[in-house]
Structure 1
Amino acid sequence: MLKDAIREIRRFGEETGIIEKKVLLLFSGGKDSSLALYILKEAGYDVSALTFFHKWSWPEVIKWGMKFTKSLGVEHYLVDLTEGLRRVSIGRKGPICVHCKKIMLWNAKWFALNNGFEILAKGDNANDKIVGTLLDQCPGDIRLCEIPKIGIPIFRPLIKYKAIEVEEMAKEARIEPYRMYEHGRRKQWREGCPLQYIDEDARITEELMDLAFRINYEVSKIARKFKVRVSVRVPSFEVMCWNCNEKVLEEVKSIVNRET
């Protein structure tokens, strides 16, 4: 499947002419964006990676991502969004991911345009499609979408592959991203950053952002030790856990008790 995907993406790039253009891929260090980067590189694209981070990002994930892009021989840019995230989030209600994604897309657009990139790529798979979104209403092949409001073509090489197919191809490519063993906000294991665990009805403050990072970073150590998925919402301190037993919950609650 992986070889077929690489051949197909190369064919698509040659037909559309984008294989000759500079591509900037939004790279989180997760399985989807890592596979998308791998496939584009193997297919012969002139691709670079762009990672946004902030003071609350998981440091281990960033370090893994830097090693991965180095192994591919891909140029990797890192941009600090801390000040921008503070500005658009503090004082508002969650989910904070909504505010963060707007900042990332805006900054990605201008970073690309100011540095000679002609295509912006994302690692979205078929399970990420949302009815009504502009990217999924593009005429023709939805892998490549031009939206005047965005100002730069968006390329999604994995959008026709289901999450389970992405998982299979990542295994074939031996891509094993660093896991924080987060619970995730959905059943599909989607790691990101600890700020996603701020309660949606909470008014966002920097103290709350610091707390979300601090408590979930400690909880992630427990989750990794027991190979389960755990996260804690703040400020409600709701414990979310997949496959936890009493021993795990006891250790997690000890972390929570230290913060309350």
Structure 2
Amino acid sequence: MIERAVREIRDFAEETGLTEKRILVLFSGGKDSSLVLYLLKQAGLDVSALTFFHRWSWKETLNWAMKFTKGLGVGHYLVDITDGLLREAVGRKGPVCIHCKKVMLWNAKWFALNNGFEVLAKGDNANDKIIGALLDQCDGDIRLCGIPRIGVPFFRPLIKYTAEEVEALAEEAGIRPYRMYEHARRRQWREGCPLQYIDKEETIRPELMDLAYRVNYEVSKIARRRKVRISVRVPSFEVMAWNPDEETLRGIGEVVRRFKGGSDASVRKA
């Protein structure tokens, strides 16, 4: 599968002129963006990685991402978006991810333009819900989309692969990102950052951002040890877990009570 995927990318790059372009991959350190970086490198394209982080980012996943790009031999740029995220998100309703994506997209555009990159690449696959206003602006093959309001074309080499096919490709390539064992928002394993667990009806405040990080970091220690996906919403302290056993729930309950001040936690098993 890897050989075929690399060949498809190389052929597409030759058809569209991507072989002559500098490509910047929006690299989160997750499986999809890691696979994109790997495939573009194997296809012989001029590729680098761009990772955004903020005060509440998981340090463990960032460390893994830096080791991965070093092993791959590609340039890796790190940009701290803490100030921009605070300006965009604080005082508004959640989820935080909506505001964070705006900050990342704006920074990606200007980083690319100011540093000589001609194409941005993402790890979207066929299961991602991106058909709509964004891709309606694409003429022809949706793998390469020149979006007028952004001004930098987007390359999505995995957009015709299902999540299951991406999983198989990553496994064949030996790509196994560091897992925080987050619950995430869908059964497909899609980790992000702890700020996604601020209750969506809440007005975003720095104190809630700090709380979301601290609670979920402690919970992740148990989740990783028990190999169970768990996250905690704040300030409701609702515990979300994929099939936890009673011992795991007791450990999570102790963490939640410590942060909540002794009250019981509600648990939703998914």
TM bracket (short chain):
over 0.9
SS at 1:192 equivalent: coil
User: Paired residue for 1:77?
Assistant: 77
Q: Partners of 1:222 and 1:109 in 2: how far apart?
A: 38
Q: Partners of 2:211 and 2:34 in 1: how far apart?
A: 29
User: Paired residue for 1:230?
Assistant: 230
Question: Counterpart of 1:165 in structure 2: which amino acid?
Answer: E
Question: Counterpart of 1:93 in structure 2: which amino acid?
Answer: K
SS at 2:230 equivalent: strand
C-alpha contact 2:137 2:147 (8 A) present in aligned 1: no
Shift of 1:139: 1.9
User: Paired residue for 1:3?
Assistant: 3
User: Paired residue for 1:38?
Assistant: 38
Query: What aligned pairs does 1:211-222 form with structure 2 within 5 A after superposition?
Result: 211-222=211-222
Instruction: Please give the TM-score of this superposition, normalised by the length of structure 1.
Output: 0.99
Gaps of 5+ in 1: none
SS at 2:235 equivalent: coil
Q: Partners of 2:30 and 2:238 in 1: how far apart?
A: 25
C-alpha contact 1:129 1:136 (8 A) present in aligned 2: no
C-alpha contact 1:24 1:49 (8 A) present in aligned 2: yes
Q: Partners of 2:104 and 2:84 in 1: how far apart?
A: 9
Shift of 1:146: 0.5
User: Paired residue for 1:16?
Assistant: 16
Q: Partners of 1:191 and 1:220 in 2: how far apart?
A: 12
Gaps of 5+ in 2: 261-270
C-alpha contact 1:219 1:252 (8 A) present in aligned 2: yes
Query: What aligned pairs does 1:51-200 form with structure 2 within 5 A after superposition?
Result: 51-135=51-135, 137-200=137-200
Shift of 1:147: 1.1
Q: Partners of 1:106 and 1:76 in 2: how far apart?
A: 18
Q: Partners of 2:130 and 2:20 in 1: how far apart?
A: 30
Shift of 1:116: 0.2
Q: Partners of 1:79 and 1:134 in 2: how far apart?
A: 25
Q: Partners of 2:73 and 2:159 in 1: how far apart?
A: 24
Shift of 1:135: 2.3
CA RMSD of aligned residues (A): 0.8
Q: Partners of 2:70 and 2:131 in 1: how far apart?
A: 36
User: Paired residue for 1:255?
Assistant: 255
Question: Counterpart of 1:107 in structure 2: which amino acid?
Answer: N
Q: Partners of 1:131 and 1:73 in 2: how far apart?
A: 33
1:47-104 per-residue CA deviation (whole Å, 9 max, x = no partner) reads 0000000010000000000000000100000000000001111111100000000000
* 4+ residue runs over 2 A deviation: none
Question: Counterpart of 1:32 in structure 2: which amino acid?
Answer: D
Identity of aligned residues (%): 72
Q: Partners of 1:45 and 1:135 in 2: how far apart?
A: 24
